[in-house]
Chains A and B, each alone.
Chain A
Amino acid sequence: MKSIFQNKRISAIVCVLPEKVVRYADELQDYNFPVRQSEMLGKMMDYNTRRQCEPTDSVSEYATQGIQRLIDQSVIRPEEIDAIVVASSSQDYIMPSVSYLLQGHFNLREDVYCCDIVQQCGGYQFGLIQSFMLMDTFGFRKVLLVTGEMTSKKVGMHDRNARPIIGDAVSVTVIEPADNGAIYTDYRNYGQMADAIMIPAGGLKMPSTPETAIETKDASGNLRALDHFYMDGEGVFNFVMTHVPPMITDILVQSGDSIDSIDYFMFHQPNKYMVDRLADELEIPSDKCFGNIVGIYGNASTATIPLNICHNIGSIAIAKPLRLCLSGFGGGLTCNAVVFTNPQMDCCEIIDFKRTL
């Protein structure tokens, strides 16, 4: 679905990370594969470090510190927040929603619009689109978009396909009116492939039981339980390589852009291999498209694009306007893209979560 919005910017992003750093090299013995083979895989996929939350950490706690940081830096004032949009699959509770917890924590106005949308790897763009629609419908001037995941809690420790890539992070993005012209968006959904990325047990359809916690070996020798995150790596790779390049090509035509006219392509990063292949397919120069986030922080799903922005172009985004192409793809399955010129940002940073004693 192609849409064009007008005159909105991302004015600030704060990403909040767990302090705990885990290393792929320390866990090779956990996998049901020869260590040497796992080392080769790690080298090719750029598996190095990632951030991992503690068992009782929650998205709302991390978002609270991100929002507080924005308040402390005078980027936002609590009374001017019109909406909180949370795009995540890592809800604190089945109910209430994280957006209400944040509204309550900061004693925000009663008429602040609170909305959680359950999203995975494409969630940042869906959150932006949701925020743009709210601004156009209600005339909102400051929307907080919270994205982030704590998927490490749902990954099997013996799953070499998933555990090495999954990291935890939460981001808070401020969206507000600007004078930056058209914002082109496109999203395409393929629910027929919903089971390619999923956590089978633990929801209402298949409650967790002692049986769903039992690990079994798949055809390739990998170990995983029904309680754990699952990704059909080959299926997702084929999906991304089939559907994302034509979508990016289409949106660039629609926006009147070329690869050259875009300053940076900020893609979701499932792993470095997939991002590199995607960039090659689209003939995007390596200095315009980064694949380093998973090897440093891990893939935090809905928070990976804001992390990509803050880590790789944060200082540039604060210094000058940038023409950006954001694109997410994954759980759904879905893929989406946003092309726009973002004016200079007021804040773009990564902080560690501070644990209170």
Chain B
Amino acid sequence: MNKQEIIQTIESIVASSLNHHDFVMKEESKPEEITGWDSMANAMILTSIEQEYGIKFKFSDMIAWHTIGELADIIIKKQG
């Protein structure tokens, strides 16, 4: 799976978790720019991503990204 496909999957997970799709997901998008993406939503979104890709984030992974592109990079790295 390439980075763009991963970003599309994240977009779908975020829309499902937040129950809206009032955003355009780009590589440079940040959680604070998306309505409803608070700490609770973040926990839901990251857990769903873990389930989707069969990976487990360490805490250092969870705080290491600021943009969706950086999150996608971590997923790629985790998948080995």
What residues of chain B lie closer than 8 Å to A44, measured between beta carbons?
43-44, 47
- A-B contacts, 14 listed (Cβ < 8 Å): A33-B19, A40-B17, A44-B44, A44-B47, A45-B43, A160-B40, A220-B36, A220-B41, A233-B39, A234-B38, A237-B43, A241-B59, A242-B59, A273-B47
Expressed in whole angstroms, the Cα–Cα distance for A34 and B36 within the complex equals 11
What residues of chain B lie closer than 8 Å to A30, measured between beta carbons?
none
Are the C-beta atoms of A234 and B44 separated by less than 8 Å?
no
Chain A 320-342: CB-based contact to B (< 8 A → 1; otherwise 0) = 00000000000000000000000
Are the C-beta atoms of B44 and A281 separated by less than 8 Å?
no
Whether A139 sits at the interface, judged by CB under 8 Å, is no
Give the total number of A-B pairs whose CB atoms are below 8 A apart.
43
What residues of chain A lie closer than 8 Å to B17, measured between beta carbons?
37, 40
B interface residue numbers (CB < 8 A to A): 16-19, 36, 38-44, 47, 56, 58-59, 62-63
Whether A95 sits at the interface, judged by CB under 8 Å, is no
Helix, strand, loop or mixed for chain A's interface? Answer: helix
Helix, strand, loop or mixed for chain B's interface? Answer: helix
Closest to A36 in B: B19
Are the C-beta atoms of B39 and A234 separated by less than 8 Å?
yes
Whether A238 sits at the interface, judged by CB under 8 Å, is yes
Are the C-beta atoms of B63 and A238 separated by less than 8 Å?
yes
A interface residue numbers (CB < 8 A to B): 33-34, 36-37, 40-41, 44-45, 160-161, 219-221, 233-234, 237-238, 241-242, 245, 273, 277, 280-281
Expressed in whole angstroms, the Cα–Cα distance for A277 and B63 within the complex equals 13
- Which of B16, B40, B56, B62 lies in contact with A41, CB distance below 8 A? B40
Are the C-beta atoms of A37 and B47 separated by less than 8 Å?
no
- Which of B19, B40, B44, B58 lies in contact with A220, CB distance below 8 A? B40
What residues of chain B lie closer than 8 Å to A219, measured between beta carbons?
38
Return the 9 tightest CB-CB contacts between A and B, nearest first: A234-B39, A220-B38, A241-B59, A233-B39, A34-B19, A37-B19, A44-B47, A44-B44, A273-B43
